[in-house]
Structure 1
């Protein structure tokens, strides 16, 4: 990268950081210090505002950098990520949004404990929420590191590492000082910037090919290095049986994982009513759907204009495909237009990462304070907000450490792992609690740990961690589980253990509490 590129981009990076810190400062002066204000922003956001915030929370570095990069490298198979992420919102709309808003206050555990014993369920749900959040944060850290490494000249290990540390420090500031109010407005601003940037790049790609999608796909196949296979299924998830099962596992994780993500569930508590929560999801589906259609165009555009070899040379995982595409669309390396467009896209991507890490960190710190601390401490809910701020520091430190380890993995792939753990550890217990009359406390605890532990163990002993050139530890091989994504095994196990724990429990389900929860979830009567 030229000095001009670096200077302009760093100026825009600084502007993004300044704006987000200003929002945080404004929000910190307006907060009242109550848990409702810190965790839910006072429940004062409109459906449109919350819909934009949900979109800003969900359209992460995995979407903007990772998915486009996977499509640029693997064509048709890369589109599976975009389709899976979008279809997942139908599950959220139909099964989760309104019911969660009616039954809970701040976290997933609030919903499950509405009819079960609190202490064991809160501890289990808190542990799973923090684990999922940290895994998701790692993906954002890796995306930030890839972006700044490209800016400062290829494989700059020091640049990646310091970027990961810097993003971690910023996310702690956002959460500890501004809470949900600051996080929400940062996400809204980010969603507008990201959609604007994606529209601009998509229009420029289509103009290059005269609006002819056939010409775009033909050029992408020709320059990808794979020929017509680039446009057919099987390039990434074909061939061996393990690849085919990985595809099924990934699909399950993406479609079911969204409904178990703590930072997505927490957004439904920021609106005043369940109807507003449902309308928020409708807004977010429209925004997210449009965005994922554009990432498909950007992925094939990167393959067509840059070539698969150039994308892979810059970053073997494909994370820098979109920034490189912007440079090409602006006129190429060394041009003023290329410098400006690259700088804008890089700044938008950086804003994307900052907004998402703020939301995830807030959700994980809420799980620590509201679920773990309140359950284990004799002080109950007193001092929760202070504990949440301290927890944000701890979560940030854990995410930084893991982000430094996983710097060379594709961010969309890393998010796929987080979705698998969320689908296994959180979704089964949530659905059982809402819809199964006989469900017991033992079943809830078994469902959480029965999904969380197998998912983590299977990831540790998968090719993601060892046994290959793209693994975290390529020099050793202890990969005994053949699949890269654990969802196909861990999700059914979680449902099974939830059932087994319930049918073997001596606890008798409280019919009155179930009836109360059912009425509350469906009508909103008694909701906070």
Structure 2
């Protein structure tokens, strides 16, 4: 029996016990680490920011672990295997996004804030309305991102364990959610960070081993590998742009819109921004991003080899026919290379990837609610750090339960829709306000509220009335490609899958309009103080909201 057929069978069935055994080993190791660091959580700074005790290298590795989700590993490899050049554009977009984070937000946020993005915004703006808007935006981004990861746990990871029925996938989602709650509840940011460091190491090493293996089989000749993929696909179109995004003028605009959301959204993702507060200095914040860029860039170079390797060794037809479609490319390649053991390792890496990302999202949401809404708005700052952390722990449980239920309902839905929505909200609702707050002296609370609520509401509305929710039909099979599977239901009027090209510029414009329409004073003395602190780090260790 040849490797391709065996790979296809492995994806349908696989050796479930090997996969579970390797995953269980990962869970045991990470739980030991989490419980070991749990005794060090003695203050709010410990729970929220890991006591600001991580080095730039450690935090950069954790950022890579937080950022490289299952979609990056399984999704991009599959996109390259099937769409070639157009699939690799995802890797480029995700990587370039970090330059925006490095140049515009990393050091400045670390110098100005304390625990959350709202700390930065409320430094020179009215605290209560801005904190509420920032917290709502953060929770919206986290919810949709978390929903996508939990649904991915049901779809992708359950596939690797041979679980095909919806009830079984619901159990997988519940297990992932329960482990996530345990990691964050016990370990706080310290435990979550170490889980992310372990996961990033596993993911990059696993992808690196597969990359070298594929290159060895092709004599370390990348051109030969690509030619093998072309021969297997029967067309050289996978080496040229336009397979997915050159079909029509609408798809070209859609690609620009998606690219804008991905590149700008990363610098506004709350779970990424939170990581800048876990280091002791601005220098470490910069180093964190540099280390993350190197690790993430290395990984995305691996995806190029893995994608074309899957195309050459497995073949597009087998990948598309397998359960999970494009998402099965990396597991199929793993089985074709190393059999059940390597497939089991990849299954464990997929589990580790989802666990680390959802843990990072959960600690961010809990921090935002407890610190921004409960402590600052409800209690008006009159709450002890211990009381704040207690609320954060309860928030973790609630968010975990919501994520489990939401993930079960979202299982089988369009995961790309949820991820794109999260990135687009981050780019439209968060980034303009962060940029204006850091760099524009005239900016005021009215501008911040116009920008944040305008970006948030416009993004959600346009997504609801876009083809990803209703009205998108496969021209060949006639099947629905939207979230609503009934092809008779069609209420979309916005033509693009991603509204970033509209809502992101709109949010920037609304920030300007809201600022100039308001008679509110902009407090230039607070801006001057913020500018000095953000650029020099003076007073950063005593950062508090005014």
Same fold per superposition (TM over 0.5): yes
Gaps of 5+ in 1: 331-337
Tell me whether 1:51 sits opposite 2:60 in the alignment: yes
Give 2:540's aligned residue.
Answer: 527
User: Compared with structure 1, are the counterparts of its residues 316 and 67 closer, same or farther at alpha carbon in structure 2 (3 Å cutoff)?
Assistant: same
CA distance in 1 between partners of 2:433 and 2:376 (Å): 19
Tell me whether 1:358 sits opposite 2:359 in the alignment: yes
Deviation at 1:410, TM superposition (A): 6.5
Give 1:494's aligned residue.
Answer: 507
CA distance in 2 between partners of 1:75 and 1:341 (Å): 24
Tell me whether 1:188 sits opposite 2:197 in the alignment: yes
Tell me whether 1:98 sits opposite 2:99 in the alignment: no
Instruction: Select which of 160, 177, 192 maps to 1:168.
Output: 177
CA contact (8 A) 1:220 1:307 kept: yes
Deviation at 1:385, TM superposition (A): 1.0
Secondary structure of 2:334's match? helix
Deviation at 1:217, TM superposition (A): 1.3
Deviation at 1:142, TM superposition (A): 3.0
User: Compared with structure 1, are the counterparts of its residues 416 and 220 closer, same or farther at alpha carbon in structure 2 (3 Å cutoff)?
Assistant: farther
Alignment of 1:109-508 (within 5 A): 109-153=118-162, 155-224=164-233, 227-315=235-323, 317-330=325-338, 338-378=339-379, 380=381, 381-382=383-384, 383-408=387-412, 414-468=418-472, 469-475=480-486, 476-508=489-521
Secondary structure of 1:483's match? coil
CA contact (8 A) 1:425 1:450 kept: yes
Alignment of 1:504-515 (within 5 A): 504-515=517-528
User: Compared with structure 1, are the counterparts of its residues 402 and 80 closer, same or farther at alpha carbon in structure 2 (3 Å cutoff)?
Assistant: farther
CA contact (8 A) 1:408 1:470 kept: no
CA distance in 2 between partners of 1:492 and 1:176 (Å): 39
CA contact (8 A) 1:57 1:264 kept: yes
User: Compared with structure 1, are the counterparts of its residues 231 and 414 closer, same or farther at alpha carbon in structure 2 (3 Å cutoff)?
Assistant: farther
CA distance in 2 between partners of 1:122 and 1:427 (Å): 15
CA contact (8 A) 1:123 1:375 kept: no
- Spell out structure 1 runs of 4+ moving beyond 6 A: none
Question: Cα deviation per residue 1:395-422 (whole Å; 9 max; x = unaligned)?
Answer: 2233334333443356566433321111
Give 1:517's aligned residue.
Answer: 530
Q: Report the count of equivalent residues.
A: 519
Secondary structure of 1:178's match? helix
User: Compared with structure 1, are the counterparts of its residues 253 and 103 closer, same or farther at alpha carbon in structure 2 (3 Å cutoff)?
Assistant: same
CA contact (8 A) 1:147 1:346 kept: no
Question: Cα deviation per residue 1:247-282 (whole Å; 9 max; x = unaligned)?
Answer: 001110111111001111111101111111001111
CA contact (8 A) 2:56 2:285 kept: yes
Secondary structure of 1:426's match? helix
User: Compared with structure 1, are the counterparts of its residues 79 and 258 closer, same or farther at alpha carbon in structure 2 (3 Å cutoff)?
Assistant: same
Deviation at 1:358, TM superposition (A): 0.7
User: Compared with structure 1, are the counterparts of its residues 171 and 411 closer, same or farther at alpha carbon in structure 2 (3 Å cutoff)?
Assistant: same
Question: Cα deviation per residue 1:362-417 (whole Å; 9 max; x = unaligned)?
Answer: 11111111111123313634321111112222322333343334433565664333
Deviation at 1:4, TM superposition (A): 7.1
CA distance in 2 between partners of 1:486 and 1:328 (Å): 39
CA contact (8 A) 1:190 1:355 kept: yes
User: Compared with structure 1, are the counterparts of its residues 500 and 461 closer, same or farther at alpha carbon in structure 2 (3 Å cutoff)?
Assistant: same
Secondary structure of 1:30's match? coil
CA-based RMSD:
1.7
When the two structures are superposed, what TM-score results if normalisation uses the length of structure 2?
A: 0.92
Gaps of 5+ in 2: 1-8, 473-479, 542-546
CA distance in 2 between partners of 1:274 and 1:306 (Å): 46
